[in-house]
Amino acid sequence: MKRLLIVWHSLTGGARQMAEAAAHAARTEPGVEVRLQRATETTAEDVLAADGYLFVTPENLATMAGLMKDFFERIYYPALDRTNGRPYAILICAGTDGTGAARQIQRIATGLRLKEIAPPTIVITGAQTPEAIFAPKTIAKDDLARCAEVGAGLATGLAAGVF
């Protein structure tokens, strides 16, 4: 049995919806156990027990969310040289860009020697005012379908031994 760990953080619900869509799709793949966990509750032991990863975060101030960075800070050294070559993908919920958060996660994943299996999937909400930024988000069905494809692809690749 392969294990896919989906680590997420969300303040307004957008990234949570994206993570849940990916997890739902990944769970349809036989032979793959999917763990959907908040970044604040995920430990180095969880990371070491997984065969692949999906990191899901909002972009805040052109960077990943602080609690997602906290996750990486807590697991980085315990996982270093123990996760080499494991596959990962990224889902970002952003107001207008998302590339800053993606670059940060890619740099950390490079240090962990993980293997990126797809370009980051960035969902743009268009939120620009303080009210819109902090408002609860509803992610469009087409965007949730893109997230589901990433989750399904990771699970299928793990099950098939492709990565």
Please say whether the beta carbons of 127 and 3 come within 8 A: no
**In this structure, what DSSP letter does residue 83 have?**
S
Segment 8-27, tens digit of pLDDT: 999 999 999 999 999 999 99
What CATH number belongs to 2-160? 3.40.50.360
**Rounded mean pLDDT, 50-67:** 97
**Rounded mean pLDDT, 67-88:** 98
**Rounded mean pLDDT, 145-163:** 97
**Rounded mean pLDDT, 25-45:** 98
Arithmetic mean of pLDDT over the chain: 97
Instruction: Report the alpha-carbon distance of residue 137 to residue 11 in Å, rounded.
Output: 9
pLDDT at 88: 98
Instruction: Report the alpha-carbon distance of residue 37 to residue 138 in Å, rounded.
Output: 20
pLDDT at 125: 97
Domain limits of the chain?
2-160
Is the pTM for the entire model greater than 0.85?
Answer: yes
